[in-house]
Structure 1
Amino acid sequence: MIMATIAFLGTGLLGSAFAEAAAKRGDTVTAWNRSIDKVQALAQFGVKAAATPADAVRGASRVHIVLKDDAIVEEVISAARSGLSPDAILIDHTTTLPTLTAERAKRLHAAGIKYLHCPVFMGPAAARNAQGSMMAAGPKALFESVQADLAKMTSRLEYLGERSDLAAANKLFGNAMIIGLSAVMADVLTLAQASDVNGEDAIKLLSLLDLNSMVAVRGVNMAKGNFTPSFELAMARKDVRLMLETTGDRPMAALPAVAARMDQLIAAGHGAEDASVVGIDAVSRG
């Protein structure tokens, strides 16, 4: 089996985990990071350290980019271009702004540089063990040329199509859910504290809720603009009042903002509609 020669630009927690896993699979891996010590820590796995991005990508067939944001991606790609092989494929795992991702893809493709945006839903442990999910957006032929290699990095690989900013948008959708759930769970823990209930017991009780079903049913209805009530907004607002009265002056992460939005919609005459009407301004009504 012929193994690949690849490069990683960015070896933070996720990038270093990807590089480690690739080296363990037998790939020849070179990596660059602004802090050289983070690359040198990977030497035990056979990852070679490069002094510059251009040095890292020289001779690589695939270049995996795992950086902080759009500005740094632009800076590092610019620094790497002199070392890129004509057939090298840039695979960008960075969470980025969709509009800037589309502009970057268009500009790089026009310059003859192969670029595919492939953000992920996974942490370092998942990256080391090829778990979690990876999305890809960009030219189909380009995706198919690296599909087998990307599949080795994740347990679920989703190609979203040729629209270059689609994976970037979906990455933000997913992270919004993760961050939003974390904020609500923080409020649940605050409620538990105020109610003298063990926090772990409170979190375990949440398993009684079928969150996947809520997304599949309530979420789809929201996207369609269907707010036929099963849990009226006015009743939900009463429950949020009880929650806030229970927690008193303790810091809350999400529920005060939810209450304020509910109050706006009740004042606008939506109190008898489903509580999911909080999303009314984001959709067209059916």
Structure 2
Amino acid sequence: MATIAFLGTGLLGSAFAEAAAKRGDTVTAWNRSADKVRQLEQFGVKAAAKPADAVRGASRVHLVLKDDAVVEEVIAAAGPGLAPDAVLIDHTTTLPGLTAARAERLKAQGIRYLHCPVFMGPPAARNAQGSMMVAGPRALFDSVKDALAPMTGRLQYMGERADLAAVNKLFGNAMIIAMSAAMADVLTIAQASGVAPADAIDLLKLLDLNAMVAGRGANMAKGNFAASFELAMARKDVRLMLETCGARPLAVLPAIAARMDQLIAAGHGAKDASVLGIDAVAPGSAA
């Protein structure tokens, strides 16, 4: 088994460290709040006072931190203890541009680095479920893939482009957050209509969201807005939703209505409601 370190033991980092120790790895961990590390001692995780102490002798160093600024701070603090052949495995959700710059700088410094964000919560991390994406040098990924595989239900190599996992993490989180906001508005419509929250959520189970992504989403990506649900009709439905909710706070429907009004005014009312994405796939929009 391996000697590894975890820098950052919040909810996700502590779950990863616990699972690694239970698999038989020798695990040392550091966290700014020392109490969070000491809670892991019951699983055999050793607590370190400083990042450099945690990484000393580790073949892999897993970063599970808040943001880019903290990643930079912790990598710098860990540097004096980092072994020359250690691999930094960064699970932090970060800005793609900063991720690419970080990877390039670390490569120039001779530090081996992979960006490996995940789609999983603490229970999934404890039980090797969910997904882990990896971006960085293929040879480096190949050298650690067998060690990463037991951490996740699905290990997906995204390619050598250093920021590609970061971008895809934002894709996924955008969908998760947007769906949470949409469900909040569904519950508001239910509240305004005297329908139990659980009944409203049960109704959503009738919708095949995967099919919507495969169908409408694929058409959007191609710029195909041939109507099956006209934008003007969809706007009417959003008006009914807003009127039903009255003065109750809503998460996304007012912004959707405003964007629909812009597109209808621009002459897109007879196109499919997916024309909401027209600016994202217009020629030159990727620049």
What's the TM-score once normalised by structure 1's chain length?
Answer: 0.98
Partner letter of residue 141 of structure 2? F
The answer for the alignment partner of 1:202 in structure 2 is 200
Whether 1:109 and 2:89 are equivalent positions in the alignment is no
The answer for the alignment partner of 2:131 in structure 1 is 133
Deviation sequence 1:44-85 (CA, Å, 0-9, x none)? 000000010000000000000000000000000000011001
Deviation sequence 1:107-152 (CA, Å, 0-9, x none)? 0011100000000000000000000000000000000111011110
The answer for the alignment partner of 1:245 in structure 2 is 243
Structure 2 counterpart SS, 1:245: helix
Match of 1:72 among 70, 76, 79: 70
Structure 1 counterpart SS, 2:113: strand
Q: Contact (CA 8 Å) 1:19, 1:31: kept in 2 or not? A: yes
Structure 2 counterpart SS, 1:208: coil
Q: 1: distance between equivalents of 2:4 and 2:92?
A: 17
Q: 2: distance between equivalents of 1:201 and 1:141?
A: 50
Partner letter of residue 105 of structure 2? R
Q: 2: distance between equivalents of 1:113 and 1:18?
A: 23
Alignment size in residue pairs = 283
**Alpha carbon RMSD of aligned pairs, Å?**
0.5
Whether 1:185 and 2:183 are equivalent positions in the alignment is yes
Structure 2 counterpart SS, 1:107: helix
Q: 1: distance between equivalents of 2:147 and 2:140?
A: 12
Deviation at residue 284 of structure 1 after TM alignment: 2.5
Deviation sequence 1:261-285 (CA, Å, 0-9, x none)? 0000000000000000011010026
Q: 2: distance between equivalents of 1:200 and 1:59?
A: 51
Q: 2: distance between equivalents of 1:149 and 1:218?
A: 38
Structure 2 counterpart SS, 1:160: strand
Identity of aligned residues (%): 81
Structure 1 counterpart SS, 2:89: strand
Match of 1:277 among 275, 281, 284: 275
Q: Contact (CA 8 Å) 1:94, 1:119: kept in 2 or not? A: yes
Deviation at residue 31 of structure 1 after TM alignment: 0.2
Structure 2, unaligned stretches of length 5 or more?
none
Structure 1 counterpart SS, 2:195: coil
Structure 1, unaligned stretches of length 5 or more?
none
Structure 2 counterpart SS, 1:227: coil
Structure 2 counterpart SS, 1:19: helix
Deviation at residue 174 of structure 1 after TM alignment: 0.3
The answer for the alignment partner of 1:6 in structure 2 is 4
Deviation sequence 1:75-114 (CA, Å, 0-9, x none)? 0000001100111000000000000000000000111000
1:1-286 aligned at under 5 Å gives the runs 3-284=1-282
Q: 1: distance between equivalents of 2:78 and 2:9?
A: 15
Structure 2 counterpart SS, 1:231: coil
Partner letter of residue 262 of structure 1? M
What's the TM-score once normalised by structure 2's chain length?
Answer: 0.98
